[in-house]
Amino acid sequence: MAVCAAIIGKDNSSKFFVTLNPDEELHFQYKVLSSLDIIEDKLATGTKGGADTKELYLGMLLSLETYKIYGYVTNTKIKFVIVVDSTNVVLRDNEIRSMFRKIHSEFADIVSNPFYIPGEPIISKNFTTSMKNIMTGTV
Amino acid sequence: MAQCKQSPQEFIKSAFTPQIAVMCTPLAEKCCQKNNLNFIELLQPFCRLNNDVTYKDRGLTNTIRNLKLTFLDISWRPPETAVARKLLNYSVTNAPESKPKLFTIGNHQLDIPTNTPWFESWRETFLKVQYPSDHEFTKHFLACIMVVSSSDINPEGTFEKLSQSLNYVQNREPGKLPKWFNSNILRYYVVLHDNVDGDINVATKIFETIKVSYGFSYCFLLKLNSRSPNSGTSEHLPDPWSQFINTPIDLKEYKGSPDNSIMKTSLEIGQEAEEFKTTVNYHPLSPVNEDVTMSGHISDDEKPQKAAAKQKIHGSCLSTDDVEQVKLFIYEFTKSCLMPYIEKQIHSLSDIVLNKKGVSKSLFSATKRWFSPNKPGASSIAVNNLIYSPDSPELQIRRLGDLYFMFGQYSSAFKAYHSAKREYDTDQAWLYYAGALEMASLAAFMANESTRKTCEYMEDSIITYQTNCKMPQFATRATILSSECLKHQNMFGEAAHQLIRMTSEESDLRSALLLEQASYCFLKSKMVRKYAFHMVLAGHRYSKAAQRKYSLKCYKQAYQVYENTGWDLASDHIHYTIGRQAHNLQQFNEAVDSFAKLLLGESKQTAQQQATFLKEYLTILGNKLKSEGDSEQITSPVLPVPELEMNSIKLLLGPTRPLSTPGKIPALGINFGNAEDVQAEQKWIKLEEMLVHEAEGSPPLLFKPMTTLYTVNKLGKNKPVAIVNEPIQVSLKLINSLQTVLNLMNIHLLWTFSNDNETVSNEITDKIDYVKTYVTKSLLIEGNSNQEVILSLAPLQVGTITITGFCYTLTSSNGTTGASSIKGKQIIVVPESTSKNNRSNTTKPLEINVVPAAPCLQVTFSEMHTDFLVNELQKVLVTFQNTGSVPLQNVYMATSVPHLFCNCEFKQETNETVNMNDLSMPNVRDKVLRKNHLTSVPLNGKVLEPGQTVPIHIWVKAPNSKGPASIDLLIYYENVVKTAIPRYRLVRHNWNLMVQESIIVDVSTQASHNSKTVEELALAMKITNLNKVHNSVLTQITLLNIGLLSKYWTLTKDIATPKYINLHSQESAHILLKAKRLVKNTSEYSTVPLNADRKSIQNMSKQFLAFAKKSEKPLLTMFDDFDSLHFKENKDGILLLQWQALVIEDSKKRIVCGQTNIPIEINRKDENVIQMERILSDTFIDINDKTITEEETAQSAQKQISYNLIHPPVIVHDFREKKVCIVPVKILLHSIVDSKVLMVTVNTTDPSVKLPTISKSNQTCAYASSKFCWLSNSKIIKQIHPLTTESVELSAALSGPGTFDLGAHIQILCKSVDSDPLVLQSCQIHPTLIVKNKDS
């Protein structure tokens, strides 16, 4: 079960942010923001390799005392970040990977919505619930 | 963006300049003081040579362009740590401002200063305050200039003395300052001559002798001061000194012990500013505990100094020639003295180095290399333990390198440094090693031979300085230099990395400056986010270093990136810090704006945090107001919280509701809640239109409803009109999106009143002559909630009121500690709606016209229980009182539910019958409509004077369905003066009833077949009390009276009833009644009392009847279509059941009366079922439409006559006496059509009827026999008028005893007009006649 998920745009501005506990949002913002550095690093090194078979999943970005942060970058440089409680041993790499894939497809749906202006923060009840479902693993 | 003025090469060059010491006699110094300068200062502007100088190195001539020399007094010491800190701080604080320029980086538009003079000035100061160290020679004096004034008594002796003291200084113990390049430094002798005061001959003489003793090229005669200070300012030279002479903070104060032994130790101390270091482990993103530097003191000791510096004019005694002399002196010194000396030095040092190389290679280094680890840093224990003696060969090579470097031979320098570095490495002399590496890297850069390797040298050097030598000041210096090189090579990432590495807890100022530079590096490599982040860090460090100006600037720059990115925490932090810094810098507007942003919108901060923000905001705002002083006190600030929702502004104009008195309810009037209900509003408008029509007598040309409740939309379109002395109420919706409670106090509206003479606003004055302002004392808005607040005004004079906003005192309710409160306001404007598009963004102020006093009708009602039973009647006393100061007239009442409202108490119903067909005409219809809906209220006299009262009674009836119901009443009255504005006024009232079940009555009617004279009707009623046992209200219903209101029927009195019929819950009573045909022109009312006690009935009959009449007639209401009216028509009449109920509710008892109306319909058909089926089929089969209508007309044609036979039921006849029994039978024919005269034919000679054959068998027949025949004429034709009865006498002849069906042989045919065919009537009756034989 992830505790926080974020979608960060091309310009590194937060497009969507959801936490299981809404009171902790600011707390997580700080963590996610700091993990962007690592994403950038990973991207910088990653681009040197073959661009064709690019792996979107970035793996674990940060492992803090209480949380683990995972990252994922789409081809259009949209970043997905998931924060997981470090005590959680059920979620392994594969689960995180599939979580990201689900988020990606949800995000693709949102972007396909003609009423969504790309680059704007995502405000959608539907999306939030489906993200929460992905986070809690009920999907 | 953020460029340095100097190129890196220039910067490095100027960082390593040859240092020349100066010794001056007091008299020489005095000579210079005439110009407000000392000797060093005098030279300073001309230190950079304009001409090229050359020297030879191994046969090659090297040319140095723009060589810069640094002259320092021999007694000059780098300032002590504390002073150095002050100096550094000062240099940053006083650095010139830089103009920001807009750059576009990625998607961001960023305002970035074009250069950072504060950094450059700090850098320069930093290099200046460096202590010279033993491991390098760039800061060591190469030469010494001795200056003696020509007016000295014994110049030669003085020179001697100076030389001696120089020798003394040089030969002191080595650790002390000043440091010398080597023991044999260059000495230069200068005779200073004052052209005005001194004698030129003496000077020349002295010069000659000195030339002889010291050599020609080592002496100079400097002639100065050829201008007397008072010689006028005509020849005013530009002051080249001013930019070099900064007036640093009182250095002298600190110069207590220049020669103390602290010097050496202070070398190791970081020589920078460390101030206000109270919270070290401080988290940059926690805004709460930043109280450390908030005390808001700004160093004010700078100002007087600046002023003093301005007054001084430098070089007032120097003519152009004198300046030329100075320049010449420096040039001569360099060219003819310094350069040859350098040449010599380089030569000798190269020799030493060459010689040494062989030795070192063969012996020392080889062995050492075997025994020592190769890597620097591996043995960190051996820190600084190796100190070479000043003349050791290892240092000679470094000396050579430094010389090469200072005099522009960079590649040679690199070689020297490189070999020196290797040597120090093997010796593990880390400080020397780091220095050599640093210089090697710089030399490579200067020689344009920079490679990856040399960059690594620098990296290595910094790390060694930092970790092995623990000498951060050298590391910092190396970083400053190296970052410039890296930037020049576009290696911004590396530069930033190095800069960031040098930030430490040691010095906030240094960290701040370096972070700022690093962030610019990030920006250059298009890493905007990193730029912003480090900018924030820099800002944070600046604030810790008390450099608020820069801190604010950094945060602002960072905010440009963080703005609208959705990182709330970051932007909150930035806002908060900007707010505080701006506040400290007295930039209150910015501070307030920034804090306001924290309070706007949905913040995700905790409630406690928000409360802190709010409190801080209020404090800052308070300070702002204080600083702005009394002059601008008038206009209170616009506060950001709570939010005002502009779209929900509502305005209500109208009289105040009177105080409630027991037993009386004032009319509800209009309140703010009414705005939402559009449907109800429509209803009121329709009623109003009718009223206006009625009052005017003609329909208004353009009806515009009178509005007293304005929503935002209406406000945009119309200008409201208020009446003097009547309150103007404004409803505002305040939204508190914070999570903390907002405490508003003393809320009132702000207005501007203007009439022809003057304009007054209550923002400025407290005058109450024009408008009375009501103040709401206090309002608490909980976190995350809305609150409606109603504020009111009362205009006292005619004019125009503009409501500009509302004013309140906002208090931060943060516990008990020091609640700060600020009086602020918010602006109220309404969106102006143009005709085309309502969504236009223009707004306009809320203006209200105030007109003279108008009449004001106060309507009160007697209190009444709002829990009604279905069909209950209640009497209400309505009191009209004119509470205004102007008489009024023409009071009307209107209701949209006329059937529930009765004015019978004061008005007799005039019996105007309106032809149904006329209703199709609109004007007739309108008239009827108005008659139904409206009632005029009789006034004593035509006019209701102020203070007069008129009471009337009305009756209200509950509707006949359960549930909530409302009865509305609109009261209209007008000003006696026809032209007054407003022309008329309205009062609204509404009763909201809760209706509960009472009784239900089922009636079934049947034509009676045994009427003797006229047609009769049997009415079977079932009356049930619907009250349920478990209901909270218990009703016990007594039936009082049954009435029939009909044109055609009247109740017959032959009914036997018990004394009273009392129905408890769920009980029912069955009553059978009979009505007979009695045709009248108008409906008649016939009653049958069901109760022995008749008194009460009598009293009420009038209103019962009135309501009954309302329901009898098809009542035209404004909500009906014309077409639907026909369906409501009722032919047969209405059965009225009057009752009295005892209602017991919570042990309270009351007695109420009611009347249930049941329309009756006579059911003549037996084939109900068939009809039902047809109705059902009707709905589906449309194709058969025509046939059905035909069928229907045929049906109705068959139902025009009903008849019954009157005959004795049993006849005893002696058939032996007489064979045939003749029975007289009377046929009663009833016409049941009310319009046509019918021709009825009674046919008794049915051809199908055979003559009866008398046989015995018929006696045993199971069925009634039809074996009889009619006598007399077989066809009787009668004319029957509508709804009348005719009788026909017939005789039946029976041949034997038995039971006979007398209806068997009768056919009733009828037609309306002659031409029509006769139609057989469907009414078939089977009256039985029993004939008995006498014997049996």
In degrees, to the nearest 5, what angle opens at C-alpha B76 toward C-alphas B72 and B78? 110
Residues of chain A positioned with their CB less than 8 A from the CB of B522: none
Q: How far apart are the first and last CA of chain B?
A: 140
Mean pLDDT for B696-723 is 79
Neighbours of B891 (CB within 10 A): 23
Note whether B789 and B868 are same-domain residues: no
Average pLDDT over residues B86-100: 81
Q: Which residue matches tokens 């020049």?
A: B488
Q: Are the beta carbons of B567 and A121 separated by less than 8 Å?
A: no
Point out the residue among A11, A15, A40 whose CB comes nearest to the CB of B107: A11
If asked whether residues B862 and B818 sit together in one domain, one would say no
B1054: its two tokens: 């032959």
Domain containing residue A69: 2-136
Is the CB of B568 less than 8 angstroms away from the CB of A26?
Answer: yes
Contact A30 B285 (CB under 8 A): yes
* pLDDT band for position B1164 (cuts 50, 70, 90): low
Say whether B565 and A29 touch across the interface (CB within 8 A): no
Pairing of strands B843-851, B721-723: parallel
For residue B132, give the DSSP letter: P
Of B565, B568, B606, the CB nearest to A12: B565
Residue A104: the pLDDT is 92
- Burial per residue of B828-864, b for 16 or more beta-carbon CB atoms within 10 angstroms, e otherwise: bbbbebeeeeeeeeeeeebebebeebbbbbbbbbeee
For the ranges B7-11, B106-110, B201-205, B904-908, the lowest mean pLDDT is seen at B904-908
Write out pLDDT tens, residues B1176-1221: 444 444 444 455 556 666 666 667 777 777 788 788 888 777 778 8
Of B697, B738, B731, B734, nearest to B712 (Cα)? Answer: B731
Mutate to test the interface with B, among A4, A10, A17, A26 (most CBs of B within 10 A): A26
Give the distance from residue B775's alpha carbon to the nearest chain A alpha carbon, in angstroms.
38
Q: Is residue B416 part of a domain?
A: no
Interface of B with A in 549-568 (CB under 8 A): 564-568
Name every residue in A having a CB less than 8 A away from some CB of B.
Answer: 11-15, 17, 23, 25-26, 29-30, 33, 36-37, 40, 121
**Chain A residues close to B527, C-beta within 8 Å:** 40
Range of lowest pLDDT (B45-59, B744-758, B773-787, B1090-1104): B1090-1104
Contact B566 A25 (CB under 8 A): no
In terms of domains, do B38 and B168 share one? yes
Q: What are the pLDDT digits (tens) for A18-54?
A: 888 888 888 888 888 888 888 888 887 765 555 555 6
Question: Quick one: B1157 and B1147 in the same domain?
Answer: yes
Contact yes or no for A23 and B567 at CB 8 A = no
Q: Which amino acid does the sequence have at B140? A: H
Q: Which of B161-175, B228-242, B371-385 has the highest mean pLDDT?
A: B161-175
pLDDT score of B299: 39
User: Which chain B residue lies closest to A13 (C-alpha atoms)?
Assistant: B565
Per-residue confidence (pLDDT) for residue B238, from 0 to 100 = 62
Q: Phi and psi (nearest 5°) for B144? A: -135, 130
Burial of B520 (0-12, 13-18, 19+ CB in 10 A): buried
Which residue, among B135, B166, B141, B170, has the nearest Cα to B401 in the 3D structure?
B135
Q: Is the domain of B888 the same as that of B843?
A: no
Residue B1062, amino acid? N
Which chain B residue is nearest to residue A17, measuring alpha carbons? B566
Residues in A touching B285 (Cβ below 8 Å): 30
Best interface-test mutation with A: which of B285, B530, B567, B610 has the largest number of A CBs within 10 A? B567
Tokens representing residue B850 in the block? 């105030």
Closest CA to B39 of B233, B190, B200: B190
Cβ neighbours of A35 in B, within 8 Å: none
In a domain? residue B1264: yes
Cβ–Cβ gap A37/B530 under 8 Å: yes
Residues in B 578-607 with any Cβ partner in A closer than 8 A: 604-606
User: Does some domain include residue B1230?
Assistant: yes
Note whether B1016 and B1074 are within 8 A (CB): yes
One domain, residues B1211 and B1071: no
Only one residue has tokens 């093997």, namely B426
Q: Work out the angle between the directed axes of helices B508-524 and B117-128 (0-180°, nearest 10).
A: 130
Q: Is residue B1216 part of a domain?
A: yes
Shortest distance, CA A90 to any CA of chain B (angstroms): 30
The predicted pLDDT at position A81 comes to 92
What CATH number is given to the structural domain containing B1238?
2.60.40.10
Judging contacts by C-beta atoms under 8 Å, the chain A residues touching residue B558 are: none
Write out the two tokens for B1283. 């709804």
Q: Are B869 and B875 in contact (CB under 8 A)?
A: no
- Please answer yes or no on whether A14 and B106 come within 8 Å at the CB atom: no
Residues of chain A positioned with their CB less than 8 A from the CB of B604: 25-26
The bridge status of strand A2-8 relative to strand A67-73 is: unpaired
- Quote the pLDDT of residue B814: 54
Q: How many CB pairs under 8 A join A and B?
A: 40
- Chain mean position to CA B764: 29
Task: CATH number of the domain at B1058, please.
Answer: 2.60.40
So what's the pLDDT on residue B1120? 53
Task: Judge if B64 and B208 occupy the same domain.
Answer: yes
Residue B527 in contact with partner chain A when CB distance is under 8 A: yes
Residues B653 and B782 in one domain: yes
Q: What burial class does residue B1173 get, using C-beta atoms within 10 Å of its C-beta: 0-12 exposed, 13-18 middle, 19+ buried?
A: exposed
Q: Which residues of chain A does B529 touch, with a Cβ-Cβ cutoff of 8 Å?
A: 12, 36, 40
Token pair in block for residue B1135: 């059965």
In A, minimum Cα distance to B739 occurs at: A23
Residues 88-117 of chain B whose Cβ lies under 8 A from any Cβ of chain A: 106-108
Taken as a whole, chain A contains a residue count of 139
Residue B994 CA to its chain's centroid (Å):
40
State mean pLDDT over B749-774.
Answer: 77
**Which residues fall within 8 angstroms of residue B591, CB to CB, at 6 or more apart?**
B578, B579, B580, B581, B582, B583, B620, B624
| Chain A: residue whose CA lies nearest to B567 | A14
Instruction: Kindly report the number of other CB atoms within 10 A of residue B350's CB atom.
Output: 19
**Identity of the residue in A14, A37, A40 whose CB atom sits nearest the CB atom of B567:** A14
| Collapsed DSSP state (helix, strand, coil) of residue B258 | coil
Question: Are the beta carbons of A15 and B566 separated by less than 8 Å?
Answer: yes
Identify the pLDDT of residue B1026: 83
Please give the C-alpha separations between residue A133 and each of A15, A28, A126, B733, in angstroms, as whole numbers: 18, 19, 11, 37
Residues B845, B908 within the same domain: no
Read off the CATH number of the domain in which A37 is found: 3.30.450.70
How does pLDDT run across B1140-1155, given as a tens digit for each residue? 888 887 778 888 888 8
Looking at the structure, tell me whether residues B1078 and B1098 fall in a common domain: yes
pLDDT at residue B1233 greater than cutoff 80:
no
| Rg, C-alpha atoms of chain A | 14
Q: Note whether A17 contacts B570, CB cutoff 8 Å.
A: no
Of B108, B565, B569, the CB nearest to A30: B569
> Of the candidates B931, B963, B995, which is a domain's last residue?
B995
Smallest Cβ–Cβ distance between A33 and the set B527, B567, B572 belongs to B567
Residues in chain B with CB shorter than 8 Å from the CB of A40 are: 527, 529-530
- State the Cα–Cα distance between residues B148 and B22, nearest whole angstrom: 11
B283 touching chain A per CB within 8 A:
no
Nearest partner of B301 among B510, B93, B552, judged by Cα: B93
Check residue B979 and report its DSSP letter. T
Which of A15, A25, A40 is nearest residue B604 as measured by Cβ atoms?
A25
Q: Facing residues of B1306 across strands?
A: none
Instruction: Please indicate if any CB of chain A lies within 8 Å of the CB of B500.
Output: no
3-class SS of residue B519 = helix
Structure letter (DSSP) for residue A22: G
Distance CA B1323, CA B1309 (A): 10
Question: B472-486, B997-1011, B1303-1317: lowest mean pLDDT where?
Answer: B1303-1317
- pLDDT surpasses 60 at B1258: no
Domain shared by B777 and B892, yes or no: no
The DSSP letter of residue B909 is P
Comparing B191 with B1106, the larger pLDDT belongs to B191
- The answer to whether residue B769 sits within a structural domain is yes
**Total structural domains in chain B?**
5
Q: Which domain holds residue B819?
A: 643-663+708-851
Q: Which of A2-6, B332-336, B587-591, B961-965 has the highest mean pLDDT?
A: A2-6
Chain A nearest-CA distance from B604, in A, is 7
Mean pLDDT of chain B, nearest integer: 75
Of the candidates B801, B823, B851, which is a domain's last residue? B851
Who has greater pLDDT, B98 or B558?
B558
Give B1265-1314 pLDDT, tens digit per residue: 667 777 766 677 777 777 777 777 878 887 778 887 777 777 777 777 66
Mean predicted confidence (pLDDT) in B496-504 = 86
What was the pLDDT predicted at A7?
Answer: 92
Residue B796 DSSP code: -
Q: Identify the closest residue of chain A to B569 by CA–CA distance.
A: A26
The Cα B804–Cα B136 span in angstroms is 74
Using the predicted structure, report yes or no on whether residue B746 has a pLDDT greater than 70: yes
- pLDDT at residue A105 in the model: 92
Does pLDDT of B441 surpass 70? yes
Contact between B530 and A121 using a beta-carbon 8 Å cutoff: no
The reply to whether ipTM tops 0.85 is no
Q: In this structure, is residue B1208 part of a structural domain?
A: yes
Query: Strands B1016-1025, B1033-1046: parallel, antiparallel or unpaired by DSSP?
Result: unpaired
Does residue B631 belong to the interface with chain A, where contact is any CB pair within 8 Å? no
Do B52 and B152 lie in one domain? The reply is yes
CA distance A1 to chain B (A): 23
When divided into structural domains, chain A yields a total of 1
Residue B413 belongs to some domain of the structure: no
pLDDT digits (tens, 9 = 90+) for B163-180: 888 888 777 766 667 778
The pLDDT tens digits of the residues spanning B99-158 come to: 888 888 777 788 888 888 888 888 888 888 888 777 888 888 888 888 888 777 777 888
Closest residue, chain B, to A26 (C-alpha): B569
In a domain, B1307, yes or no: yes
What pLDDT, in 10s, does the model give residues B1058-1098? Answer: 777 788 888 888 888 888 777 776 667 777 777 666 555 55
